[in-house]
Structure 1
């Protein structure tokens, strides 16, 4: 196990450009990623590092109701690596590409037990807005979970960026976005997504009304009536399904009410 930062330690000094350096804190069996002491960016159980410790990450995995075996997932934002680790372990035939702009976050991948790059997993230091600008038919699923201090960077929530995500998806591809429900621009962000994806989208909000997970599809895959049956696909192991099932029930109920 990597060395431990005790909770009383102050965060590291800011980088040369004045931006805060990411750091982690340990409390009991939890390890959390921070840019500031008050805001948790990611959380990991030291007893079960590959588990999805935060509810919103389990909600983002709701795409498996529509496509349980994507060929390629593109993730914007590494954070503590919760989603890349889970997908790498349980989606054995899926290629996972993670775009992270902050080298300080990438430097902590070992602390959060993110596997080394291999034939199925790559972590790329790049600006996601630039990376996706020229991508076309690139991925079956795109995750947007790129946050900094103060929320989502402007470049990752613009109308142009959502249009680029639409073009980067393959036919029937799914965009999965993590929003903060109470952000003053939340409804405007939703309108920007809708401008590119039309009505083929829906929103699920977590129990504490903090995170809004939006699913938007390039096609009509979200209208598949079988998604609400909550039957475990052959591509998803019993262990993964057991972890996701309580959250998938909530998503299924949302689909019924669409």
Structure 2
């Protein structure tokens, strides 16, 4: 069983700050756990959150909004609001901290549960390990950081293998990692072992150092002309910088995939 790095701070109370029309979610620290532009709650404010939508490039435009999207880690609810209200997908968010869920309902325009939306207070490790969730998900967004934001809370090869099991054939996962953190190469290798190195890509780091990794469950990458058509469709319909994403996407480098002796094991 994949286990979570536990801490007495796992249920740290959520706190808020506001600046220049943007509301931020914190967990008793200076680190931002999420953000929402108050007058545009469906806008994806943070650059790395926008890049968590890069999975859209790997899906045919006609299938873009079909199926089920799952977020592991609610943050300020940006991806959940977007998947539910803009993409109109069946959406599930899994969040361990009840204080975060309460803050999102009260301050971050998170809708109440409906037939298309479920916000579940649960451990993401247990959720992906539950076989009833396997082969059910088209899109999985993984953003699991605690109040210290020192590294992913769940980050084993076993965890990523279970994430893959939740995906249907052709399903896609995006993961937020700190690209300039010492743990990045190890995390990326674990994802590549779980999905296959030919099914994993990374975007260049944001200014803040967030690197989004995209992993696919058996996807054939289309030619560049088709990718450009998809990017144009995403930009026109959803106002996301998809053409820029294409310039930032690259396979994982060999320096990451080639694991030194004795490194990379849990």
TM-score of Structure 1 vs Structure 2, range by shorter chain: 0.7 to 0.9
The CA deviation string for residues 87-144 of structure 1, in whole angstroms up to 9 with x for no partner, is: 222112x100000000010110221111111111110000010110133102011100
Matched, 1:77 2:73: yes
Unmatched 5+ stretches in structure 2: 1-7, 253-266
Matches within 5 A, 1:36-75: 36-67=28-59, 68-75=64-71
TM-score w.r.t. structure 2 length?
0.81
Q: Provide closer, same or farther for how the CA distance between residues 65 and 104 of structure 1 changes in structure 2, counting only shifts above 3 A.
A: same
Give the drift of 1:153.
4.5
Give the drift of 1:165.
0.7
2:102 aligns with 107
**C-alpha distance in structure 1 between counterparts of 2:185 and 2:9, whole Å:** 31
Judge conservation of contact 1:55–1:206 (CA < 8 Å) in 2: no
Paired residues, number: 234
Judge conservation of contact 2:71–2:140 (CA < 8 Å) in 1: yes
Give the drift of 1:36.
3.1
SS at match of 2:148: coil
1:129 aligns with 125
**C-alpha distance in structure 1 between counterparts of 2:47 and 2:80, whole Å:** 15
Judge conservation of contact 2:152–2:177 (CA < 8 Å) in 1: no
SS at match of 1:40: coil
Unmatched 5+ stretches in structure 1: 1-16
**Which of 91, 101, 104 is the equivalent residue of 1:96?**
91
1:228 aligns with 228
SS at match of 1:190: helix
Give the drift of 1:69.
2.0
Give the drift of 1:37.
3.9
1:22 aligns with 14
Q: Provide closer, same or farther for how the CA distance between residues 61 and 194 of structure 1 changes in structure 2, counting only shifts above 3 A.
A: same
CA-atom RMSD in angstroms = 2.2
SS at match of 1:108: helix
**C-alpha distance in structure 2 between counterparts of 1:217 and 1:140, whole Å:** 10
TM-score w.r.t. structure 1 length?
0.84
